[in-house]
Amino acid sequence: MKPLHGMRILNLAVNLPGPAAAKRLYQLGAEVIKVEPPAGDPMERYHAAWYRDMAAGHAVVRIDLKAEEGRACMDELLTGTDLLITASRPAALERLALDWTTLTQRYPRLCQVAIVGYPVPRENEAGHDLTYQAALGLLTPPHMPRTLMADMAGAEQAVSAALALLLARERGEGGGYAEVALSEAAAAMAEPLRYQATSPGGVLGGGIPEYNVYRSSDGWVAVAALEPHFKKRLEDALAVRNKGEYQAMFLGKSSAEWQQWGQEQDIPIVATKIF
């Protein structure tokens, strides 16, 4: 039996990261009901396959929360729900009477994870994954981010917050509320840069030859021989010591050959995928 078997999650969030968090909670055994606005989740229009993946196994209902009938349906769904996930700004939730102060009075055992852009006092300020990353120095203009790091990190933080709330409730502490600010989730993921570990020339930013990327005869390879035993094994086998020697050596074979060689030598070397 999975740990969240018997728990009901009600997800009001669309796009990311709420649905990604709901997917993880579903994988842990929870029943998930996804409430979408009448026009549906915009993610279904942007990336239909990704939308279907995140909503797989969930009961999806469309409700107009601004209509009296929709509010009645929402009240019915909240009765017996263990956890509510929201991703609207607090001011919008207040207008719908879905803010925590209102909900906890009506549903004392309910837990809520509210995903917001920024913490108090900026909780009603607009933001997006791109702007969170830009503010933290994680962009290299004009290139766009390779992944939605803030959203995906926020989804995992939402899962952690949900589990903590449900555990506290099961220990007799009643329902609880937690906010996950995507800007703070992004900041946590940016700590390697903040401590200059991954800044250009940093230890993990190209400053040492054993942890770097190199051209091969047909592409690129990532070499991560960071630990001393990996480094010694690599340098003894290839008779290389500095970055120039590394560069010359890795040009001599294809990426696939180097990856195979790394597996044989138990050294982390992989062919670099380029999409």
pLDDT of residue 134: 97
- Contact criterion met (CB below 8 Å) for 211 and 231: no
Distance from C-alpha of 40 to C-alpha of 137, rounded to nearest angstrom: 34
Distance from C-alpha of 67 to C-alpha of 149, rounded to nearest angstrom: 35
| Residue 159 buriedness (CB in 10 A; 0-12 / 13-18 / 19+) | buried
Distance from C-alpha of 213 to C-alpha of 69, rounded to nearest angstrom: 58
CA angle 11, 178, 88 (to 5 degrees): 45
pLDDT of residue 71: 94
What are the boundaries of each domain within the chain? Answer: 8-192, 211-271
Q: Give percent of the chain with pLDDT exceeding 70.
A: 100
Pairing of the two strands 177-181 and 211-215: unpaired
Is the pLDDT at 274 greater than 90? The verdict is no
Selection from 183, 182, 181 nearest residue 136 by Cα: 183
- pLDDT digit string (tens) for 211-269? 999 999 999 999 999 999 999 999 999 999 999 999 999 999 999 999 999 999 999 99
Other beta carbons less than 10 A from residue 148's beta carbon: 20
pLDDT of residue 275: 83
Place of tokens 């200059």: 196
DSSP per-residue string spanning 41-97: -HHHHH-HHHHHHHHTT-EEEE--TTSHHHHHHHHHHHTT-SEEEE-S-HHHHHHTT
- Contact criterion met (CB below 8 Å) for 175 and 107: yes
Beta bridge partners of 111: 83
- Retrieve residue 214's tokens: 């190199």
**Strand, helix or coil for residue 185:** helix
- pTM, rounded to two decimals: 0.92
Please state which architecture CATH assigns to domain 8-192. Answer: 3-Layer(aba) Sandwich (3.40)
Distances from the Cα of 127 to the Cα of 51, 52, 154, angstroms:
21, 25, 13
